[in-house]
Chains A and B, each alone.
Chain A
Amino acid sequence: MTQKVNLSSVSLGVEGMTCGSCVQSIEQRIGTLPGVIHIKVSLEQKNATVLFDQSHQSPESLSEAIEDMGFESSLSASSA
C-alpha cells in the first residue's frame, strides 16, 4: 500500500524571536506536529519555512500553532 502525500512548503513570518532558544523551541514544537515533515526557522529573516503534508496541516493551522506559542505569525507571501 502506498500512501498518497501532498507535500507543500510555506514560509511564515514570525515576530518576537530574539535568540537561538526561541528558534529551537519553535522548531521542536512545530516539528513534532502531525504532518510536519521539516521546519527551518531563521532568526535573521524572522521567518519559518515549513515542509508539510497538506492532508494534516495548512498554512493557517501552522501559523496558528506558532501564535499559540506566543509569537506573532503572519502568512507572508514568500518573497524569497
Chain B
Amino acid sequence: MTKHEFEVAMTCEGCSGAVTRILNKLGDVKFEIDLPNKLVWIESDKDVDFLTETLKKCGKDVKYNGTK
C-alpha cells in the first residue's frame, strides 16, 4: 500500500472530524490526521485523483504533497 500525504486546510476539530467521517465512509483506507500541521496521511491503493476528490468534498482546499 502507498502512503499519500495531503495538505488539507483544516482549522479546527470540526474540520478534521468532517475529514475523518468522509474517509471512514470509503471503508478500506487507513489514515492519520495531523491537525496542527494540516496534514492527512492516507494509506490506500486507490488513485490520488480519487482521494483528492474525496477530500475536497468537505469543502476545504486540498493539496497533494506526494507519497511518503
Q: List residues of A whose CB falls within 8 A of some B CB.
A: 16-19, 21-22, 25-26, 28-29, 68-71
> How many Å lie between the Cα of A70 and that of B13 in the bound state?
12
Q: Total A-B residue pairs with C-beta atoms closer than 8 Å? A: 45
Q: List residues of B whose CB falls within 8 A of some A CB.
A: 11-15, 17-22, 57-60
Q: A25-B59, A68-B57 are in contact. Are A16 and B18 (CB under 8 A)?
A: yes
Min CB distance A63 to B, Å, is 14
> How many Å lie between the Cα of A73 and that of B22 in the bound state?
13
Chain A residues in 8 Å Cβ range of B17: 16, 18, 70
In the complex, residue of chain A having the shortest beta-carbon distance to the beta carbon of B20: A70
In the complex, residue of chain B having the shortest beta-carbon distance to the beta carbon of A71: B18
